[in-house]
Amino acid sequence: MKNDRKTNQIERIEIAQGTIANEMNYGAATTHFNVSYSQVYA
């Protein structure tokens, strides 16, 4: 499991937009943004 890294509000918005743009592919978002699955899903 990847370590959680701190993200700010702007990064979280970018992660959400990137996930939506990639047809809700959470796994791809975790590797692209270097965050954990729970951070992408939340």
CA nearest to 25, candidates 11, 36, 41: 41
| pLDDT value, residue 1 | 55
| pLDDT value, residue 3 | 64
Query: How would you write the chain as a 3-class SS string?
Result: CCCCCCCCHHHHHHHHHHHHHCCCCHHHHHHHHCCCHHHHHC
Answer yes or no: are the C-beta atoms of 26 and 20 closer than 8 Å: no
Instruction: Give the span between the Cα atoms of 20 and 18, in whole angstroms.
Output: 5
| pLDDT value, residue 2 | 58
Answer yes or no: are the C-beta atoms of 27 and 37 closer than 8 Å: yes
| pLDDT value, residue 4 | 77
For 1-42, the pLDDT digits (tens) are 556 789 999 999 999 999 999 999 999 999 999 999 999 998
| pLDDT value, residue 42 | 84
